[in-house]
Chains A and B, each alone.
Chain A
Amino acid sequence: MTDIPGTTRDLIEEQINIRGVLVNIVDTAGIRETVDLVERIGVERSKEMIIDADLVLLILDGSEGLTEDDRKIINWLGDRRALVLLNKTDQPLLIDEKELASLTKADIIKTSMIDGSGIDELKDYLYNMVYSGQLRPTSQVFITNTRHKEALLRADRYLNDALEAISAFMPLDMVTIDIREVLAALGEITGDSLTEDLIDKIFADFCLGK
């Protein structure tokens, strides 16, 4: 990666965990008018990604004024759920915040990736979005395997048992018995638990021959 605009052409995907919320972050190519064919493909893919995204993080370089490209993107984003990160606050700010606020409906957070300011605010923002129900996961989780469904239900049941045991002031050794069940159930999905009938299932589901 370089700091020359236009050099990110592939999408870079990374998962991060913000206080228990799993966030899929996609770093797209910068969106700008270009004659370079390769870069244009990158820009097109970025646009598709933005349409699918639950939230767009628009990062503006605050150490430079708003560019023509920036304005176009803001315009193009329209009503899409977005958050503007006014970055590089460690340097003198050349973007007029009031003007920026008048251009977009999106919230604005000032950040610096150098001194880390605004990062906590950003995390709070993402976390709150999920837990205030504003952001519903667009891709819903489907459990297609009945065995997994059954295991999840069992895990849920034992979690409730554990909570009950705690509120009944049961000794911790009792609570751990339920927690162990929860782990065993989840382990059946991840493959970490050994169960006697696993083998029968393997033989039933796949043809292993002799």
Chain B
Amino acid sequence: MNFKSGTYDIIIVGGGHAGCEAALAAARMGHNTLLVAMSLDAIALLACNPAIGGTSKGHLVREIDALGGQMGINADKTLIQIRMLNTGKGPAVHSLRAQMDKHSYQQAMKQTLENQQGLTLREGEVDRILTKNGRVSGVSLTTGEEYECRALVIASGVYLKSRVIIGEYSKDSGPNGLFPANKLSSNLKELGFSLQRFKTGTPARVDKRSIDFSKMVEQPGDERIIPFSFMSKQIERDQVSCYLTHTNEKTHDIIRENLHRSPMYSGDIEGTGTRYCPSIEDKIVKFHEKKSHQVFIEPEGLKTNEMYVQGMSSSMPMDVQVSMYRTIPGLERVHIVRPAYAIEYDCIYPEQLKLTLEARHIEGLFFAGQINGSSGYEEAAGQGLVAGINAARYLEMEEPLVLDRSQAYIGVLIDDLVTKGTKEPYRMMTSRAEYRLLLRQDNADFRLTEIGHRLGLADDKRYGQMMRRKEAVDRQIRLLRDRVLAPSGLVNDYLKGKATTILKTGISLYDLLKRPELSFSDLKALDEHVDKDLSEDIESQVEINIKYEGYISKQLKQAEQFKKMERRLLPEGIDYEKISGLRLEARQKLKDLQPLSIGQASRISGVSPSDISVLMVYLEKLRRDKREDT
């Protein structure tokens, strides 16, 4: 029997990375919030890799943090190794990646949720979304409870009708043996959502004691820990290592011989997997000319012997898994603790959402995370944060938060999903961002903290810290501009030593730093007036801003050009049938997707530049008509 169990402003369904950020954001913005999760033991579960961050994902974590989200703070608390990736490349692609103590990360996040004022947790399975007059009105649980709410965020991850497959064996199950959610899928269909089926997978976990690390290359963490969160103080912590090894021809032979037993190839899996995180059998088939693939052994935590075998995700039968893992140097006698598996699940076509992550046809209903066809903890968390914020803004009847492609990776992520849709689990990549020199991980606070502060999410302390950091950088840049270095024997000897041109006339330190051969530490050596006590962080900010100044300003101009198109808004309820000159396909797509602006319309596949010209002419005529009427 159904019974009324309570009323909340906002309900979040799901306690994964999206659900956690959504719930915290909603509660922190002052709304009475309920989070319902199938298992409270699986809050913020790192179901696959024991790591947070990575190329472009580290950017997402920094952005979440800058807006006032939680992932970065809790990752800093529980990381057991961290590295800045891609330091050999330009500053745009530097990215933090950290190994987590899985258990501690979950515990930390659960505790954050439990202690959050205005947030209530509840274990249970939501089977129905309740609506009234095209608006969300609550949820019902399989156990009969009905909770009322005015805004709802669905962050149900990979649990919808999920099925785990290991070779010829399969069972209805969520990840890590957790229960699947079987009811919500059909309810979503009843509510008019079209669903697609995706697949992802995870490698085996193996016993540390059965590994011969002497045959692998140790991968230690960075000497100096740079934390994710702008709020974290310097972290002093012993770090643990990862280990690198490789597959070989023997591994590949075993896979090839058994390919017919892989459900991916026998047709037992219908879901679409991601190209960017392929199983080992996918890699062997698609890159058949490669004789070897990297395999990283990563610790699952400090209080467990389980190790994660990155690069060896698979859906092969158990006997094949054991024999192929054992061909790898160092894994000859490996003991598999948990098998690798593939998992398929239902998710919605994200084109059914607005840029706010609200469903186009049901008011107050928001979606975030893997249910939207994305993959990855950080992608989920970023969407969760935006969905939580916008659920709150919806109740406040305030302007929603829509980050554009020139503001944040989160903006790129959401725009890609809802504007273009996705045919495979969507993964963030730096190459997806057009303005990546602007969207660096090191300036996420400069880009976003003010926005987070205005939303009431980033607190005064965070805002104050960002402002101080900004002032310190600006002040240094001014000083370097004003300070002129005169040529002298001493100076020129130093410059010769650095293989850079000697001085004939005075030069500002600002211009000197532009030289590729020189860094901020050289300025300190050359001129005693240069501040010696700056943090490395400020020094590197100053360096990036001066060295790449020309490119940064070029990209700013490009972003400005881009924004002009984003600001040309398409009025709501525009009747595309009545605009002559649009091609049929474009007309249909525009009708379905209802883009917010000319800019967004131009990114819809099937809408050509000439369709856009037609739209622009239409808008301009509309504007001129209006002007003549007044």
Contact = CB atoms under 8 A, between A and B. Distances in A.
B621 A194 contact: no
A180 B551 CA distance: 12
Interface string B310-334: 0000000000000000000000000
B625 A181 contact: no
Nearest to A208: B617
Contact of A173 (B437, B612, B613): B437
A171 B558 contact: no
Interface in A171-210: 171-174, 177-178, 180-181, 184, 191-196, 198-199, 202-203, 208, 210
Contacts of A178: 554
Interface in A82-125: none
Interface string A161-177: 00000001111111001
Nearest to B612: A194
B90 A171 contact: yes
Interface residues of B, number: 32
A177 B554 contact: yes
Given A181-B554, A181-B558, A210-B621, A174 B437 contact: yes
B548 interface: yes
A191 B554 contact: no
A8 to B, nearest CB: 37
Contacts of A177: 437, 551, 554-555, 558
Contact of A202 (B90, B92, B548, B617): B617
A169 to B, nearest CB: 6
A198 B598 CA distance: 13
A11 to B, nearest CB: 31
Contacts of A195: 561
B389 to A, nearest CB: 29
A181 B551 CA distance: 12
A173 B516 contact: no
Nearest to A169: B516
Interface string B548-592: 100100110010010011000000000000000000000000000
B405 to A, nearest CB: 13
A195 B479 CA distance: 38
Contacts, number: 65
B396 interface: no
Contacts of B625: 210
Contacts of A208: 617, 621
Interface residues of A, number: 24
Contacts of A210: 621, 624-625, 628
B610 A173 contact: no
B370 to A, nearest CB: 29
Nearest to B620: A199
A44 to B, nearest CB: 40
A172 B516 contact: no
B553 to A, nearest CB: 10
Contact of B613 (A169, A184, A202): A202
A191 B90 contact: no
Contact of A191 (B548, B599, B609, B616): B609
A198 B551 CA distance: 26
A159 B187 CA distance: 55
A174 B564 contact: no
A210 B618 CA distance: 10
Contacts of B89: 171-173
A193 B625 CA distance: 27
A191 B434 contact: no
Contacts of B92: 171, 173
Contact of B609 (A171, A172, A192, A196): A192
Contact of B436 (A169, A173, A191): A173
Interface of A: 168-174, 177-178, 180-181, 184, 191-196, 198-199, 202-203, 208, 210
13 contacts: A172-B89, A173-B436, A174-B90, A174-B548, A177-B554, A178-B554, A180-B434, A193-B609, A195-B561, A196-B561, A196-B565, A203-B617, A210-B625
Minimum-distance CB pairs A-B, first 5:
A171-B90, A173-B92, A173-B90, A196-B564, A174-B551
Interface of B: 89-93, 434, 436-437, 516, 548, 551, 554-555, 558, 561, 564-565, 598-599, 602, 609-610, 612-613, 616-617, 619-621, 624-625, 628
Given A174-B437, A194-B598, 9 more contacts: A169-B516, A170-B551, A171-B90, A172-B89, A177-B551, A181-B558, A194-B602, A203-B620, A210-B625
